Amino acid sequence: MIRLDGIDHVALAVRDVDDSVAWYQRVLGLERRHREVWGDFPAVVGIGSTALALFPFRSEEADDRPGKPSLAIRHVAFRASAQAFLDAQRHLKDLGIEYRHEDHQIAHSIYLRDPNGHELEITTYEVAARQA
């Protein structure tokens, strides 16, 4: 049996690595990691044991042929406590960043988009949390 500790990172293609790093730091409070070794390829930001590896988007790598199926990440979800979930909503409002709230019965989530259009989710399983 394979024993895993969890997700190490999710790799995302972004239009501007520096702008994306700054956005993730400012909006989600992620910290920059491994810059002294990797520089900006990839630029890694994370919190706890979870990270995002931000790679520069290269249009020649995109397979946009009509009718050709493509694989994409639906969204990246971050877990938060009930209080952090409420605080995140207030923070996003203060920054003027739009999000939508969903009640999943066992969890509450808010969804927003990063500057590259990637959908991000912040979710709490502490369902006493309510939309701010």
Domain ranges of the chain: 1-58, 74-132
| Length of the chain in terms of residues written | 132
Q: Residue 58: what pLDDT?
A: 74
pLDDT digits (tens, 9 = 90+) for 31-71: 999 999 999 999 999 999 999 999 998 765 555 544 444 55
Which stretch of 19-23, 57-61, 104-108 has the lowest confidence by average pLDDT?
57-61
Q: Which CATH architecture has domain 74-132?
A: Roll (3.10)
3-state secondary structure of 9: strand
Q: pTM score, two decimals? A: 0.79
User: Quick one: tokens of 3?
Assistant: 């024993």
Q: Do 74-132 and 1-58 have the same topology in CATH?
A: yes
CA distance 110 to 90: 12
CATH for 1-58 is 3.10.180.10
